[in-house]
Amino acid sequence: MSSPGGSEVVSPGTLGGMTKIAIIGGGNIGEALASGLVADTSGAAAEVSASDVTVVDPYAPRLDYLRETYGLATTDDATEAATEADIVVIAVKPYLVSTVLEQIASTIDANDTETVIVSVAAGVTLATMEAALAAGVPVVRVMPNTPMLVGKGTSAVAGGRFARDEQVETVRGLMEAVGTAVTVGEKDMDAVTAVSGSGPAYVFLVAEAMIEAGVQLGLTRPVAAQLAAGTLEGASAMLVKGDKSAAELRGNVTSPGGTTAAAVRGLEENGIRKAFYQAMEACAERSAELGRPSSDED
Ligand SMILES: NC(=O)c1ccc[n+]([C@@H]2O[C@H](COP(=O)([O-])OP(=O)(O)OC[C@H]3O[C@@H](n4cnc5c(N)ncnc54)[C@H](OP(=O)(O)O)[C@@H]3O)[C@@H](O)[C@H]2O)c1
The residue that leads in pLDDT, 231 or 18, is: 231
The predicted structure's pLDDT at residue 291: 77
Query: Does 48 score more than 90 pLDDT?
Result: no
Mean pLDDT of 220-242: 97
**Full set of structural domains in the chain with CATH:** 21-189 (3.40.50.720), 199-290 (1.10.3730.10)
Mean pLDDT of 89-93: 97
Most ligand 1 atoms within 8 A of CB, residue of 28, 64, 99, 298 to mutate: 28
Most ligand 1 atoms within 8 A of CB, residue of 57, 64, 148, 297 to mutate: 57
Mean pLDDT of 168-172: 96
Cα 33 to ligand 1 centroid, rounded to whole Å: 12
Query: Does 17 score more than 90 pLDDT?
Result: no
Q: Specify the residue with its C-alpha closest to ligand 1, atom 42.
A: 27
Strand-strand pairing, 153-159 and 139-143: antiparallel
d(CA 109, CA 103): 12
Q: Specify the residue with its C-alpha closest to ligand 1, atom 26.
A: 25
| Residue 123 alpha carbon, nearest atom of ligand 1 | 47
Mean pLDDT of 160-177: 96
Comparing C-alpha atoms, which of 69, 62, 66 is closest to residue 54?
66
| Residue 119 alpha carbon, nearest atom of ligand 1 | 45
Query: Does 226 score more than 70 pLDDT?
Result: yes
For all residues of the chain together, what is the average pLDDT? 91
92 is annotated as contributing to ligand binding: yes
The predicted structure's pLDDT at residue 297: 47
Percent of the chain with pLDDT over 90: 84
The predicted structure's pLDDT at residue 16: 53
pLDDT tens readout for residues 98-154: 999 999 999 999 999 999 999 999 889 999 999 999 999 999 999 999 999 899 999
Mean pLDDT of 154-160: 98
Q: Which protein residues are within 6 Å of ligand 1, measured from CB?
A: 24-30, 56-59, 62, 78, 91-94, 96, 99-100, 120-122, 144-146, 197, 298
Mean pLDDT of 8-15: 38
94 is annotated as contributing to ligand binding: yes
Tell how many helices (H) and how many strands (E) occur in the chain: 12, 8
Containing 179, the helix (H) or strand (E) segment is strand 179-183
Cα 93 to ligand 1 centroid, rounded to whole Å: 4
Cα 234 to ligand 1 centroid, rounded to whole Å: 32
The predicted structure's pLDDT at residue 12: 31
The predicted structure's pLDDT at residue 294: 63
Cα 121 to ligand 1 centroid, rounded to whole Å: 8
207 is annotated as contributing to ligand binding: no
pLDDT tens readout for residues 176-210: 999 999 999 999 999 999 999 999 999 999 999 99
Q: What radius of gyration, in Å, describes the C-alpha atoms of the chain?
A: 21
Comparing C-alpha atoms, which of 250, 235, 115 is closest to residue 170?
115
The residue that leads in pLDDT, 164 or 49, is: 164
Cα 91 to ligand 1 centroid, rounded to whole Å: 5
Query: Residue 290: how many CB atoms within 10 A of its CB?
Result: 18
Mean pLDDT of 210-231: 98
Percent of the chain with pLDDT over 70: 92
Mean pLDDT lowest for which of 31-45, 87-101, 122-136?
A: 31-45
The residue that leads in pLDDT, 46 or 108, is: 108
Q: How confident is the model at residue 265 (pLDDT cuts 50, 70, 90)?
A: very high
